[in-house]
Amino acid sequence: MLSTTAAHHAMPNAIDHLAALTGYRDRDLLDVTLAHALMDLLRPRQVVVYKLVGEGDDQRWLLRARLTAGQTTAVSDPPWVAFEALAPKASVRERCECVESESVVASNTPEGEAVTWFPLLTDAEALGVIEVRTARPMPGATRRMVGSILRIYRNFHGLLDYSERDTLTGLLNRKTFDEAFLKTAHAAPGPAGPAAQEDRRQEPAAQRHWLGVVDIDHFKSVNDRFGHLIGDEVLLLVARILRSTFRFQDRLYRFGGEEFVVLLRCGSEDDAAQAFERLRHNVERYAFPQVGRVTASIGFTEVKPGDTPTAAFERADRAVYVAKQRGRNQVCSHAELVRQGVLQEAAKVGDIELF
């Protein structure tokens, strides 16, 4: 561990990172900054941030940031890594014990290296672990200091959730959509070669992005017949169906009322149509308490080069309108409707789209 002199030199850098930690609104940068702060403060051999992704019993470990001594750039899993490629939760006993007990776990490797796992907690649950590798076991005072830093992380994580998530469903809210749309859909492909491998682990070949708008059919009548409490329960259950239908990387939003938005990546229009058809089917077959059968109308569009969030949303929303006109409880592709002559492609003039 650090000597007293080295600790004094490391402290300003660590404080700078902690200041940056509370200045970011990007969760990727939040986790990377946490790893850098612990690296500067503790001078360990390695710091790794893992998050649990997935639902229920099928959870897996996503690498959010890994820093090794002497390394300046954190390594992470790519944003669209295949869920099946990640290690199952139970595959790493100490990590699993750490999150389930919500307490610090320590062990030694066969090579004599000390490893300490700290739970990453939110107000509701343990969402991951910090793994710190050192030459010698970590003293109690150092553990307590790391715990204090993680409480800062926990508090700020809660503030992000409060500002970015819908209060009722826990899905992302409308105000986070534009920035995420541009970041996710317009991300430039990374450089090829060995240098790129240091920054990120291997990412799948580039695929196309799709935006879907999901509208619950006859939702006003649900509120009128059963009351708003039952209506809120329907919204909560639809949000749960969205989470179970789509992958952990897909971004799910509630735009207000009975309208939800999905931003996902897949290879073709047929693949996107199948994903949204699976959602439609899952909603239709779910037995909603008291209400019974609920259906949804869905429209989707491909995100195009140079697209704006507003333009893409409007195309998908027009497809929803056609689905409603055709009897509801169906999925409509904007591109297919254009091919059929039902809708016209927008004519773009500068940054303005004319319909």
131 is a catalytic site residue: no
Give which of 178, 202, 180, 184 is closest to 192, Cα–Cα: 202
| Cβ atoms of 237 and 288 closer than 8 Å | yes
Task: Please state, in angstroms and rounded to a whole number, the distance separating the CA atoms of residues 128 and 122.
Answer: 10
DSSP state of 198: H
Please enumerate in sequence order all residues whose Cβ is within 8 A of that of 236, keeping only pairs 6 or more positions apart, or say none.
168, 169
DSSP state of 218: T
Give which of 324, 252, 270, 321 is closest to 295, Cα–Cα: 324
User: Tokens for 25?
Assistant: 């609104």
Give the number of other Cβ atoms within 10 Å of residue 170's Cβ.
16
Angle at 67 between CA 63 and CA 73, to 5 degrees: 100
User: Tokens for 115?
Assistant: 């490893």
> What does 79-141 look like in DSSP terms, one character per residue?
TT--GGGSEEGGGSHHHHHHHHHTS-EEEE-TTS-EEEEEEEE-SS-EEEEEEEEESSPPPHH
Task: Please state, in angstroms and rounded to a whole number, the distance separating the CA atoms of residues 120 and 51.
Answer: 8
| Cβ atoms of 300 and 276 closer than 8 Å | yes
Task: Please state, in angstroms and rounded to a whole number, the distance separating the CA atoms of residues 212 and 187.
Answer: 19
Residue tagged active-site, from 55, 94, 111, 258: 258
Task: Please state, in angstroms and rounded to a whole number, the distance separating the CA atoms of residues 57 and 335.
Answer: 38
Task: Please state, in angstroms and rounded to a whole number, the distance separating the CA atoms of residues 101 and 79.
Answer: 28
Q: Which residues are catalytic?
A: 258
